[in-house]
Each structure stands twice: as structure tokens, then as C-alpha cells.
């Protein structure tokens, strides 16, 4: 391999560092109508009357739309493969508003000033209804979030809108309760994670226009162009064939843009007016009406025998999907399946869950997609179990963790572990941090104490038997290649790593591969950039397409040499006879492809997978706590990753560092809070804190590759899994430092200080 496993510079690096206009708002036409949404001030209400006459008189206003002006066919905004697991519970605008920030009217005008003025002049009479704000009380509450009769669940996920249930299920193996009774050591704990915002730099945005055929063209910052096409086709009642979606450069997504949060608003304006329209969410809107991580409460029961072998795991998850069900039935599954897959000795398990509607902002996809919440709970409980046994928690993990060739427990992808170096990752992380010297704590003699905490994690590589990757490759007349992708590069560098794979298969220079962005009219179908699918699934499609093109190049070259294809070889620069008696250059073959030729010098491929081989990682943190104030500082974080073959080690490292930063933010800083009226308090970066580089100090990343045989280059995913260790590792380190177990994220200094006060009171 010349390019795979090498730190190649990203394809779009120069465009980004030189400030080229590459993002959605950069390239939107200057004459676009400006679109904004009037948002509900109430958590739950019916619109009894809405007056727009005065607002329509504002100069420059093109249209104002209410629930009376939009189609009444329900849909989901979840960017998922059809038929979606998420229920059809949305309208573009609804008479019933279900959270503070829900849309009440759409205003479009020639200038932002005109639109802002018009928004203030719209008069809405609301009938305020009781709201469900506590997700513990949502199921079977007499207050229904979705009482409508045209609510629909396409898949049997246990949903029931008349019970405020978005999904529910139970699965098990063996008799968990009986086995737990037999175990010498048992813990039973409940953990809570709040909603978290993705806080990508580029907020939600899209612009729309009608082409000369009257088709709706949508240019959007989205991770799922093909799903957006289907969603808008249904929402607008025009069908997917009347919609074209184009994806420019994306300024971050982290799962937020796997939900079509904003595209429907300019789309309906363009359909109503025939004019181009655009919407750009403010940071305020991105905080109060977007698609954050699902709040979850996870109860974990673990049982181990006297030797320290983990025998039984029981997980129950209560998930808050908010006002709408986007990704509700699917995120919750990962809260159980991913932590269950970390341990190999389990003889019995049970995983049950309930996903409930509430009158809070709708949740969605966020890096980790439910695994983050579940792994925090289980990895915290594992430490609690180890402490109960008087065992080093790293030793406990070493005795029980998954290894290559072992069967997966409760995992719905691969039936066994096809590739894994998790044991080596944990050993190396332990060595990097100096675990044996530092565990459990060191008193620094100045009122501060230092401690270490560990966690392991895994994710998946695509959704087995569901996700589809697509790629096309074409030989240009100058001997260059054009790589067409349906996967979305959202800053991760997938255009780059897929070009590296193509260059190696075709034995050409990396710079000889030209990549074009996603356009649903011409790009091969791809499920989109989510579920850690791109490197694994789309990478296989790229390799397949390139192999097909190699065959065609050989066939045409052989005909030019007046011989049979099995008598020639292609080395990336020429097709030559095996007997050494003739050759033609790639440029000559390419030129022949444009004249008097019956061989199509392009190929496309589609790939799916029956398995989802997980990447693994170990993370160990060293912290320092001031015992008087509870102030916590991260001193060192050692992360060791098994992502199969790292296609681009530099990008893999950046992915890991970024995921750790987000996980640390979730663990220490990000604290979503609502008041008693359902209004979010954290509606800007003044209130919603995320870590800066100064807060992260020393993050060290290493790789111990495995080789995943199902992928042509031995690669697995990396994007999501790397966010999953900080929450439990830091929680475990806090306990090791001061003997306080905090089971709710985030772990703030106030929580530590107050817990220490309570401990001191108890001791006295």
C-alpha cells in the first residue's frame, strides 16, 4: 500500500485554510428570500388563532405560512434508511406546538430586517395545555404529546402514541435474575446522562430553488442527502423524484445533521413563491430547537463470581425523545448492545428499554448514538463491582473483556469478534498513564489529590444488513480519475481517505484522483455519513468500483495490443503484455476511450455488509481534585485505539482527539437545564459551556491495529467510538480520588464539593 495507512493531506485543506467560499451560505444566491420561523413560547399549546395581516404589509415580505398552508401528511425528519424506525409524527407546521421553540409560522422576505419586523407583528392566540416535562412521568400520562389519529409507526418498535411511547422492547439470554442470585458480588445502580448539543461551528442551514424543469433543488449542510430527498418529497407531497439535493462542504455535523432540522422551511417557501429561499439558524436556534443527544437514565445490574468473572448483566434504559421521535427507537438500542459487547464471559443478560415523548426539544443523533450513555453506565458499574470485590478495576476488565474469536454477547451485528486488539489497547494505555504506580490515588499534600480512572469502549462499523455505500469511478481522457461518492464529508476527511483507497487499487498518484461532492441526481446512492459507516461500507464500494475499472482498462488495452485480456497486466501507468512484447500507456487507453470505442471506462459499485465489526478503545485519565473546592483538572488522557488499519493516521488521530474533547465536555461542562415552563436556560455559549483546547491539557493517542478481513484494506470505523470513554473514566477517577461516586453527568465542581460535605457530615 502506497497511500493507505499514510498521513496524506486532506483534499480540501488548501480551500479551507485560504478561506475559499465552500460552505452553504457562501454559495447561496444573493437574491434568496430570507426565511425565519416564529417559535412557540409554550411547551404545549394549541394555536387557536393566528393573524398575519399586519406582518404581510411589511415591505419586502414575500409570504407568511401557517399550519393551514402546509400539507397534512405526517413524516419523520430522521435521516434513516426507509422504512424508518422513527415514527411519522411531524408536520411542517402543526396546530399543536409541543415544546418551547416549536414552529408556529414561517416568514420569508427580501431582507432580514423585514423578516424580523414581520415576526414581531404576527399575533398568535394560544390555548396553553398542561405539559409533560419529567420523562419519568411520561409513559401512560393522561397528557398526550401526540393524540392525533394520523400518527404512524412504520416499523414494529413497540411505539404507542396513546401511551406517550416512541419505542419499547425487551430482549434476553438465559435467566438473569436467577444467575444474579447465585453471584457472590452484585451491584445495582442507576446512572443519568442529560441531553448534549453537538455545537458544530456551522449551524443548520440550507437554500432552495426551482430549476428550469420545475424541480426543487436543495443545497444543504447535511450528512444524509439521499434521505433528505425522500423526507422532503413526502413532507411537501411531491415525491422524491421532484427533489434534488446537493451537499457542499459541511462545517461539522457530529450527528446533528443526520436529522433534516431546517430544510423543509425554505423548501416550502420556494414551492409556494417560486423564488430561491434560504434559512440560516442562529446559535440560539441551534440550542433550543435542533436535535441534541437523548437524555437517558440507565439502570445496571451486574453479577460476578468469587473469581471475578462477570456472569450476568441486566440493563434497563429510559430514554427521553422529546416532542418528536427522530432516532428515538434506534439510539436506545446502542445503550445496551454496545456495552454488552465489551465483555465475553457473560452467561445471561437482559436488555430492556422505554423511549418516551415529553414536551421538550426533540432529540436526535449525536456521535456515539446511545452507546455513549450506555457505556458510561456500564463502565461505571463495572468499577463499582470491582471495588466491591476489592479488585483493581483494570485487572477485572482484563479478565473479562472481549477478544478476537470470542462470541459477542447481545450484539446485533457480528456473531463473533472478527478482529480485536482491545486487550493490547488496555495494556498499552495502562503503561502510558503509569497505572500501577498511580492507582488508585496520590495525596499531593497541598489539599489536592490525584487519581486515575479507566474505561473501555466499542462502537460499530455501519449498521449491519441495512447501510449501503456507493461509489463510481471514471477514467478521464487525460488519464485522471473522477471519484463519485454518495457519502458526505463533514470535516472527517472521508473524501481524502476514500481517494487514498482508490489510488492504491488503481496504482495511481493520490493527486490523480478527483472527488466531487454529493449530488443526488448524479452521485451513486449512499445511506449517508452516520453509524460509522463510511470507511467500512463506502470504502468497500470504492475498492470494488476501482477493481471493475481496472478490468475494463485491461480489456481495452488488450484490444489495442491485439491480444486477450488474460495476456496483459496493468500497473497503474500502462497496460503491457505479459511476454514483454508490447505496451500502451494509460493516457493512450484513456484517449482511445473517447474515440471509436465500445468499452465504457467507468464503473460503479454498491456494498452492504452482513456484519458490523466494531472498533475498540481503552481510555485512562489522570485527574487532580482540590478537596476543599471540588475543582477538577484533567492532567493526562491516554487513549489507545483499534480501528483496524488506520487509513490516514493523522485524520484518525484528529478524530480521536476531537471525540475525546466532546466526551470530556459531556463529562465535566455541558449541563442542559430547563425551567418549570419548559424553557431551556442554556440557550447560548454564555450558559452552555464546552471545553476549549486550554481545558484539555495533555491528550495522547496511539493505535494498535487489528486487521478486519471483511474490508479490502483491513479497516474499521473510528468516528463515534472515540467519544465513549471520557464519561466513565472521569467518573471512576473521581471516585478513586475522593471516594465520591457521581452517577449523573456532568461532574461539576459543585457536585464534588457538596458530596464531600455530605461525606464529612456522615463521618462526623
Contact criterion met (CB below 8 Å) for 227 and 233: no
Give the integer Cα–Cα distance in Å for 652 and 650.
5
Give the integer Cα–Cα distance in Å for 650 and 668.
27
Q: How far apart are the first and last CA of the chain?
A: 66
Cell of 539: 470504502
Give the integer Cα–Cα distance in Å for 231 and 80.
10
Of how many residues is the chain composed?
Answer: 764
pLDDT score for 514: 96
Q: Which residues of 390-411 are buried (b: 16+ CB within 10 A; e: fewer)?
A: eebbbebbbbbbbeeeeebbbb
pLDDT score for 82: 95
Give the integer Cα–Cα distance in Å for 462 and 397.
26
The total of other beta-carbon atoms located within 10 Å of residue 263's CB is 29
Cα 732 from chain centroid (whole Å):
25
Does the pTM surpass 0.85? The reply is yes
Give the integer Cα–Cα distance in Å for 638 and 619.
6
* Residues 272-309: tens digit of each pLDDT: 999 999 999 999 999 999 999 999 999 999 999 999 99
Q: What angle do CA 462, 466, 472 make, to 5 degrees?
A: 75
pLDDT score for 762: 67
Looking at residue 538, what DSSP letter applies? I
Compute φ and ψ for 427, nearest 5 degrees.
-65, -40
- Residues lower than pLDDT 50 in the chain: none
Looking at residue 390, what DSSP letter applies? T
pLDDT score for 578: 96
Give the integer Cα–Cα distance in Å for 307 and 176.
19
The total of other beta-carbon atoms located within 10 Å of residue 53's CB is 10
Cell of 695: 481545558
The total of other beta-carbon atoms located within 10 Å of residue 6's CB is 15
Helix (H) or strand (E) holding 653: helix 649-668
Q: Give the residue carrying C-alpha cell 471516594.
A: 739
pLDDT score for 1: 84
Amino acid at each position: 500500500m502506497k497511500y493507505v495507512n499514510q498521513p496524506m493531506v486532506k483534499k480540501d485543506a488548501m480551500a479551507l485554510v485560504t478561506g475559499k467560499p465552500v460552505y452553504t451560505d457562501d454559495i447561496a444566491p444573493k437574491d434568496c428570500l430570507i426565511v425565519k420561523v416564529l417559535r412557540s413560547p409554550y411547551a404545549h399549546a394549541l394555536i387557536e388563532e393566528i393573524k398575519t395581516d399586519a406582518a404581510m404589509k411589511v415591505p419586502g415580505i414575500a409570504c407568511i405560512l401557517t399550519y393551514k398552508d402546509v400539507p397534512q401528511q405526517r413524516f419523520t425528519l430522521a435521516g434513516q434508511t426507509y422504512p424508518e424506525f422513527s415514527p411519522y409524527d411531524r408536520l411542517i407546521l402543526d396546530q399543536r406546538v409541543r415544546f418551547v421553540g416549536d414552529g408556529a409560522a414561517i416568514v420569508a422576505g427580501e431582507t432580514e430586517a423585514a423578516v424580523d419586523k414581520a415576526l414581531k407583528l404576527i399575533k398568535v392566540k394560544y390555548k396553553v395545555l398542561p405539559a409533560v416535562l419529567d420523562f419519568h412521568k411520561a409513559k401512560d400520562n393522561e397528557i398526550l404529546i401526540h393524540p392525533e389519529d394520523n400518527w404512524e409507526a412504520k416499523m414494529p418498535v413497540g411505539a404507542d402514541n396513546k401511551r406517550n411511547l416512541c419505542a419499547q422492547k425487551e430482549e434476553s439470554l438465559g435467566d438473569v435474575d436467577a444467575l444474579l442470585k447465585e453471584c457472590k458480588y452484585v451491584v445495582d445502580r442507576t446512572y443519568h446522562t442529560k441531553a448534549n448539543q453537538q455545537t458544530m461551528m456551522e449551524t443548520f442551514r440550507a437554500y432552495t430553488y426551482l430549476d428550469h424543469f420545475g424541480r426543487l433543488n436543495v443545497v444543504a449542510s447535511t450528512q444524509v442527502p439521499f434521505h433528505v430527498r425522500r423526507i422532503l418529497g413526502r413532507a411537501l407531497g411531491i415525491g422524491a423524484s421532484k427533489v434534488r439535493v446537493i451537499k457542499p462542504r459541511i462545517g461539522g455535523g457530529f450527528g446533528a445533521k443526520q436529522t433534516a432540522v431546517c430544510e423543509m422551511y425554505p423548501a416550502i417557501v420556494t414551492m409556494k413563491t417560486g423564488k430561491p429561499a434560504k434559512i440560516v439558524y442562529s446559535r440560539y436556534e441551534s440550542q433550543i430547537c435542533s436535535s441534541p443527544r437523548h437524555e437517558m437514565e440507565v439502570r445496571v445490574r451486574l453479577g460476578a463470581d468469587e473469581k471475578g468473572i462477570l456472569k450476568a448483566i441486566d440493563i434497563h434504559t429510559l430514554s427521553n425523545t422529546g416532542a418528536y421521535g427522530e432516532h428515538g427507537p434506534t439510539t436506545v438500542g446502542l445503550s445496551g448492545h454496545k456495552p454488552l459487547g465489551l465483555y465475553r464471559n457473560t452467561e445471561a443478560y437482559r436488555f430492556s428499554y422505554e423511549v418516551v415523548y415529553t414536551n421538550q426539544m426533540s432529540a436526535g443523533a449525536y456521535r456515539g448514538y446511545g452507546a455513549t450513555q450506555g457505556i458510561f453506565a456500564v463502565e461505571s458499574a463495572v468499577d463499582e463491582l470491582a471495588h466491591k470485590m476489592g479488585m483493581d478495576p483494570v485487572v477485572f476488565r482484563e479478565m473479562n473483556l472481549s477478544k478476537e474469536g470470542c462470541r459477542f454477547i447481545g450484539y446485533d451485528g457480528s456473531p463473533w469478534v472478527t478482529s480485536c486488539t482491545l486487550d493490547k489497547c488496555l495494556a498499552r494505555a495502562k503503561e502510558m498513564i503509569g497505572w500501577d504506580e498511580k492507582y488508585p490515588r496520590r495525596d499531593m499534600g497541598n489539599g489536592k489529590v490525584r487519581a486515575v480512572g479507566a474505561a473501555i469502549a466499542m462502537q460499530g462499523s455501519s449498521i449491519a444488513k441495512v447501510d449501503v455505500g456507493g461509489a463510481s469511478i471514471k477514467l478521464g481522457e487525460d488519464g485522471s480519475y473522477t471519484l463519485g461518492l454518495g457519502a458526505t464529508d463533514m470535516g472527517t476527511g472521508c473524501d481524502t481517505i476514500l481517494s487514498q483507497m482508490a489510488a492504491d487499487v488503481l496504482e495511481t498518484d493520490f493527486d490523480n484522483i478527483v472527488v466531487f461532492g454529493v449530488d443526488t441526481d448524479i452521485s451513486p446512492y449512499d445511506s449517508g455519513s452516520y453509524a460509522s459507516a463510511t470507511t467500512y461500507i463506502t470504502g468497500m464500494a470504492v475498492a470494488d468500483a476501482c477493481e471493475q475499472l481496472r478490468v475494463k482498462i485491461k480489456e481495452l488495452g488488450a484490444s489495442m495490443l491485439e491480444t486477450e485480456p488474460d495476456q496483459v497486466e496493468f500497473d497503474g501507468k500502462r497496460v503491457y503484455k505479459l511476454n514483454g512484447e508490447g505496451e500502451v500507456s494509460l493516457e493512450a487507453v484513456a484517449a482511445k476511450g473517447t474515440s471509436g470505442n465500445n468499452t465504457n471506462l467507468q464503473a460503479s459499485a454498491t456494498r452492504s455488509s452482513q456484519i458490523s465489526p466494531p472498533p475498540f478503545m481503552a481510555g485512562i485519565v489522570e485527574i487532580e481534585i482540590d478537596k476543599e473546592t471540588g475543582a477538577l483538572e484533567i492532567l493526562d488522557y491516554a487513549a489507545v485505539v483499534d480501528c483496524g488499519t488506520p487509513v490516514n493516521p493523522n485524520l484518525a488521530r484528529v478524530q480521536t482527539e476531537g471525540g475525546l474533547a466532546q466526551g470530556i465536555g459531556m463529562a465535566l461542562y455541558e449541563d442542559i437545564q430547563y425551567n418549570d415552563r419548559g424553557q431551556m436556560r442554556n440557550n447560548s455559549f454564555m450558559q452552555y459551556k464546552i471545553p476549549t483546547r486550554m481545558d484539555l491539557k495533555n491528550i495522547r493517542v496511539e493505535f494498535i491495529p487489528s486487521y478486519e478481513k471483511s474490508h479490502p484494506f483491513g479497516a474499521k470505523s473510528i468516528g463515534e467510538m472515540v467519544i465513549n470513554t471520557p464519561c466513565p473514566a472521569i467518573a471512576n477517577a473521581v471516585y478513586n480520588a475522593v471516594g465520591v461516586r457521581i452517577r449523573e453527568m456532568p461532574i461539576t465542581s459543585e457536585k464534588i464539593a457538596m458530596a464531600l460535605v455530605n461525606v464529612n457530615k456522615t463521618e462526623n
